[in-house]
Structure 1
Amino acid sequence: MEKTVLFDFIDGAKEKIIARGRKFFDCPELGFKEFQTMEMICEELEKWGVPYEKGIAMTGVKATIGKGCGYHIGVVADIDALPGKDGGCIHSCGHSIQTTLALTVLEALVQTNFLEETEGCVTFFFTPAEEFIDFSYRDGLIKEGKLEFRSGKQNMIALGCFDDVDCILSAHANGDRETKFDVGSALAGFLAKKAVFQGKSSHSGAAPHLGRNTLHGAMLTMQAISFLKEQFPPEAGLRLHPVLTETGGDVNQIPGETILETYIRANDRESLFAAEKRFDACVGHCAAALELGWEIKTTAGYLPLRQSDRLNETVKENMLLLCEEKDIVKNPVSGASGDVGDLGSLLPAVQFGFSGIEGRFHSSDFIIREEENCYIRAAKVLAGTIFDLLTQPEKQVYPENFSEKKEQYLSLLRQNQ
């Protein structure tokens, strides 16, 4: 079979694909609440006779096609949305497009019988709760034993869903209006920090000297953090913007407890964990200087995304079948984060970008402007990459030390829950 057979199928189903995309866009649900989305995915799979598992990490779906004795490709699509106006939800990060792309490629592979000509297989993972939000709900599920972690992919990694996968393919909308695709993008990793300063309350007029002002400790720490930022080069992408979430006390009272919270973001693991170490030192030394107690709570976020250069070569080759070199942005750097970075720390992974969006991400003015690029061209890039990986073994990339890396990864998460 030629690759054009897959492309022709996608072109022939264009109207149906776009209608499917609009249907999923109109069904936004928050993470671990995507029950209707899960059922809609399963309805499509049942129409094509594809076996699947559902309810993984609450609302995830997993479907494998192919013989399963050769190279194993994982295609990952997020399915959750974000809060919108008036208590509603909106697909303002493009995850409904990811879901549609995955289903489009899956259908193309099934209906053309391409996998019957190969020894490989493809597993499609529809993953919940990529957006790192709604903590009270998620932490409640963790306490009930229904989940272990706050994100969908983190839970699915722990459940062993990716243990026999050789590589990960994914795609995500970008905000570029001048080009069609990006390749090799970097996503930042992040950790959440909560520093609690403990002091002594006292009357601020009659006896301030008898108190130990925790607000002073937090303010001194914020100043130290502002100096800390200059210790990292621009390419590290360090982002540290602490806020005071609780200041304690009244206007006539020395505050006996103050809470400072922040995300630490960086483009690589070394910078991320170096910044964490120095942040903790800022808190501890500034508190000690004012004879304050302190505690630091660390919650694991996502790891930086490091993409596979070899896989991206194949991705770009397929982009060039659909556009010119000038239409592809190479190696953009983003301050955003995603749990695909966690997968990329364990397996060879790519997440290429596609344009076609208008408005700001994570806002109510987000719209899908160019459906052709979002739903059709992007699907062809994904399908073409799968075709090449399964028909040209020299393009295949395999994981290294997966079990050891997974053990270390889960240990890190569990230490920072």
Structure 2
Amino acid sequence: MLDKAKALHDELIRLRRDIHAHPELGFQEFRTAALVADTLTELGIDVKTSVGRTGVVGQLGNGDGPTIAIRADMDALPILQKSDAPYKSQNKGVMHACGHDAHTAMLLGAAHLLKQSLADGNWQGNVRLLFQPSEEAFDENGISGATAMISDGALEDVDAVIALHVASDKPAGQIRFQDGYALANVDSFKAWVRGDGGHGAYPHTGSDPLHMLSVILPAIYAIPSRQINPLRGCVVSLGEISGGAAPNVIPNEVYLQGTIRSYHDDVREQLHIEVERTLKLAEQMGGSYKLQLTKGYPAMFNNAEVNGWMRDVAQEMVAETAVIDTEFGMGAEDFAYMTRQAKGAMFMLGAAIDDGIERHHHTDIFDIDESVLPLGVAILAETAHRFVTGKIR
């Protein structure tokens, strides 16, 4: 399968660069979806469009037997790209800064190989190809691409679901796995700490929200280390604090916002309680507060069995030292919604360009080493092929 994927190298690069040059934000992936649908149709694959609004679903197989799904995300980010590459974004202020262009190209490559292998007649199941919109953000109603596709039945009768994610900060060709919780629950909060304000020369005549914050901040930062079991990782970080406009005026309000990350649902709920408890300190100091908590993506759980399928395939394709079991971190992925519907897993594919420049995800200089595209294609396609031919299940 890897040799067959390598034969697609030029086509994979063409697809990836086409998508990269025409990035589209979440639920606006009209051109990308059309490209995907046209490519699948040309391969002779059954296609459904407008699944989860702008998502595309391809189906291979005869409808009998178990079904494995492979997911790729299609959306870009609202970032102005800094690049001189001939395939740089032609949509000003929007760019593929997280590798979704590569994911889509690789799944199209896997579709090509799986369509070829279907002709051998040994299939005992189905492969569903999920081209998902809007992984990067919710809409105004709290809907992401994964939840939209699930609502439209994309995972009905699916027994397992797999995916990959490129890692621009890891050596090209390195393949990383983690069983169990691999990426975090991600929630955000906004808070307003309020007092009376007043003249800076007479602080004793009112309540000072900045002084209240001097007590609240250490309490917030102490939550992970003092309120949560240290064996159950979590993060509470502030990203903005603002308040006041003059040196001699005590403001009547201070604003702050931050992120809350965890792996376990009970810890997630406890963190919400603890953040509010710290803000209640304002009341003990003569002030008040308002808290707005927003739940984001759930933690992504990698099924060990499904991870094992892909790990076995990877170890047969590359040097053993290139396959690593490691921690992914506290990032977030809405693929987590899919792994809660069917047993599933995602692996990380190293794709750093080896020139000493760090091209981190979600930055304006993000890019990848395109030589890894055939490897990602081969692992996805071979894992699915073994599933539908009864070699794994």
Shorter-chain TM band = 0.7 to 0.9
1:254 maps to 2:259: no
CA drift of 1:235 comes to: 5.7
Q: Which residue in the other structure is 2:131 paired with? A: 126
Q: Which residue in the other structure is 2:170 paired with? A: 176
Deviations 1:373-400 (A, max 9, x none): 2x1111111111111222236x32xxxx
Contact 1:357 1:366 in 2 (8 A): no
Q: Which residue in the other structure is 2:371 paired with? A: 372
Superposed counterparts of 1:363-402, under 5 Å:
363-369=363-369, 371-373=370-372, 375-392=373-390, 395-396=392-393
- Greater helix fraction, Structure 1 or Structure 2: 1
The equivalent position to 2:351 in structure 1, one of 352, 356, 370, is: 356
Give the letter aligned to residue 35 of structure 1.
Answer: F
Residue 114 to residue 321, structure 1, CA distance change in 2 (3 Å): farther
**Distance in 2 between the 1:377 and 1:106 partners?**
14
Worse overlay, 164-173 or 270-279 = 270-279
CA drift of 1:245 comes to: 4.5
Contact 2:223 2:236 in 1 (8 A): no
CA drift of 1:115 comes to: 8.1
Deviations 1:295-341 (A, max 9, x none): 22111111121101111111111111211221111132322211112
Which residues of structure 1 form unaligned runs of 5+?
Answer: 1-5, 140-147, 397-417
Which residues of structure 2 form unaligned runs of 5+?
Answer: 82-91, 354-358
Where 2:46 maps in the other structure, the secondary structure is coil
Where 2:170 maps in the other structure, the secondary structure is coil
Where 1:52 maps in the other structure, the secondary structure is strand
Worse overlay, 323-332 or 23-32 = 23-32
Tell me the number of residue pairs that the alignment of Structure 1 and Structure 2 aligns.
374
Superposed counterparts of 1:15-414, under 5 Å:
15-85=10-80, 88-114=93-119, 116-132=121-137, 138-139=139-140, 148-174=141-167, 175-177=169-171, 180-184=174-178, 186-205=182-201, 208-231=203-226, 232=228, 236-247=232-243, 250-284=246-280, 286-358=281-353, 359-369=359-369, 371-373=370-372, 375-392=373-390, 395-396=392-393
Residue 277 to residue 159, structure 1, CA distance change in 2 (3 Å): farther
Residue 282 to residue 7, structure 1, CA distance change in 2 (3 Å): same
**Distance in 1 between the 2:246 and 2:54 partners?**
45
- Greater strand fraction, Structure 1 or Structure 2: 2
**Distance in 2 between the 1:343 and 1:153 partners?**
7
**Distance in 1 between the 2:95 and 2:40 partners?**
24
Give the letter aligned to residue 171 of structure 2.
Answer: R
Residue 368 to residue 59, structure 1, CA distance change in 2 (3 Å): same
CA drift of 1:9 comes to: 3.7
**Distance in 2 between the 1:372 and 1:21 partners?**
12
CA drift of 1:98 comes to: 0.7
CA drift of 1:342 comes to: 2.5
Higher relative contact order, structure no. (Cα contacts within 8 Å, ≥ 6 residues apart): 2
Contact 1:67 1:116 in 2 (8 A): no
Identity of aligned residues (%): 24
Where 1:306 maps in the other structure, the secondary structure is strand
Worse overlay, 300-309 or 193-202 = 193-202
